[in-house]
Amino acid sequence: MRFAWEQDELTPAGTIVRWMADRIASVEVLSSRDFRVLYRNGERWDDYALAPRVVPSHRLAQATAAQRAAYAREPVHAGPFAIAAWLPGSITLSAFKNYVLGPPKLGRLEIHFFSTRAAALQALLKGDIDVAPWPVLEADLAKTLDRFADGTRLLAHYVPTEAMTVLRFGSDPNRFGDPVVRKAIELAVDRQSIVDDVFVGRARVPKTFLLPPHWAATEEAVAGVAPDRDRARAVLVDAGFVRGQYGILERGGERMTVTLQVAAGSTARVEVARRVAGDLAAIGIAADVRERPAADLMADVNAGHFDMAVTPEDASDPQLASARWSGFVDPWFDVLGQLASGVPERNDKRAIYAEMERVWSAALPALPLYQELRVDVAPSALVAIQPTPSGAALSWNVSEWVFVAR
C-alpha cells in the first residue's frame, strides 16, 4: 500500500492517480496486515476511500519498463472470471467457481478487439459478437442502432453519464483570454442544434462544469443562453473587431484564424468540433480542426499552449472536477473550492458548489457542448445488464449475467 502511494506520487501532474495521491499526507505500515492512511486536512471527496491501492513492491520496486508492461498483462486474479488465454485480437476468460460472491452464471467470456468501431458494429450486426459496451459505440450512431437494435434480438441501453465534452479557450488576451470574445462564442454556437443533429436529440446541453442529476449540481443557479449570432457579431464589433479579407475578423492587425484541436478517440466528438467550427465561421472566426491524441492535447491544454480545444471532462466527483478548473476561472472560485473540500455536510457543500457554478459560468473558461451519453448494446436475452452513469465498466456485475429463453 505504501509502495503504491509512493509510485503514484511520481506520476505526471494532472492525472487522476496523481491528484488522489496528492490528497494523502502519508501511508503508515502498522504490521504485516495493517496500515493507516492519513489524508491532508479537509480531504473527503466522494471516492476518497478508493485512493489507497495495492502494488507489489517485491515485483516492481526494481522492475524495468518492460517488466512493468509484462506485469500489467498478468493481473492478480480476484474476480468472477480468470484469464484462460490471451491471444492477438482476443482474450478468453473462464468462470472462477470459487468467486467470493458465488460462481458466475456464464461459463466463459470471449473478449474481441477491433481496430475501428465500424468493424465492431459490423461484427455486432452479423452476430459475431453479443455485446458492444460503451465506448465502443457512441450516441451519434443512434439512427443506425434504432434500425437494428429493435428489442427482439439486440437492445440498446442509453444512459446519461457524469461526463461532458466542452470547448476550452486558450488564455491569449488578444483572443480567447478576452471574456468578451468567449461571450460572443457562447452566443454563436448553436449547441442544441448540434445535439439534435449529431445525437438525434438524445444528449443534452449542460450549463456549467457540474452535471445533473449529480447531488452537487445546481443548474438552476445559472441562466441558459440562447444562440444569437447577430448579437455575437455586435459584441465583437463593440470589442474592436472588424471584418477583413474573406470576412475573417481582425483586431489590432491580428486575424482571428485559430486552430481548434479535438481529442481523438471519439467520432462523435470530432463531428461536434467540425460543427462548432462551422458556427464560428458564421461570425468571422476561421477555425482549422485538428484531431490529436487525447494525452498530448491535454498536456498542451494544461500548459496553456492552445487556441481552442474540444475535450472530454469527467464531472463524477465535484471536488476533482473543481480542482481541474483551479487557476482558469478567478481567485474566488479557487477559494470556494478549498472551502467546499473542508465542509462535511452535503447540503452545505451543494450551496458552495452552486456559487462556484455561477462564478464559473460568468467567467466561462469553457463552453459545455453536450453531456456524454453512453450506449451499451446487448442481446435482449442476456439479462442483468445494468449500465451506470458513473462510467463504470458494463461488466461490473458480469457474474450475474445469464441468457434466458425469450
pLDDT, residue 138, reads: 87
Q: How many CA atoms lie within 13 A of 313 on its CB side?
A: 30
> Could you count the other beta carbons within 10 Å of the beta carbon of residue 167?
25
Q: In this structure, which amino acid lies at residue 367?
A: L
The answer to whether the beta carbons of residues 391 and 189 sit under 8 Å apart is: no
pTM over 0.85? The answer is: no
pLDDT, residue 406, reads: 67
Going along the chain from its start, the domains and CATH numbers come out as 2-72 (no CATH), 89-160+373-403 (3.40.190.10), 161-371 (3.10.105.10)
Output 230-233 pairs: Cβ under 8 A, ≥24 positions apart. Answer: 231/187, 232/184, 232/185, 232/187, 232/188, 232/283, 233/184, 233/283, 233/284
Dist CA 248 CA 256 (whole Å): 6
Dist CA 92 CA 107 (whole Å): 11
pLDDT, residue 8, reads: 93
pLDDT, residue 384, reads: 92
pLDDT, residue 71, reads: 85
Return the closest-CA partner of residue 256 out of 166, 369, 176.
176
- Give the rounded distance of the alpha carbon of 179 from its chain centre: 25
Average pLDDT, 10 consecutive residues per value, the chain (406 residues): 93 84 94 92 79 90 90 80 91 93 94 92 91 90 81 85 94 90 96 93 92 87 87 95 92 92 91 96 96 91 92 90 90 93 87 94 95 91 88 90 87
C-alpha distance from residue 398 to each of 80, 156, 228, 296 (Å): 8, 17, 48, 34
pLDDT, residue 143, reads: 83
The CA-based angle 189-287-310, given to 5 degrees, is 65
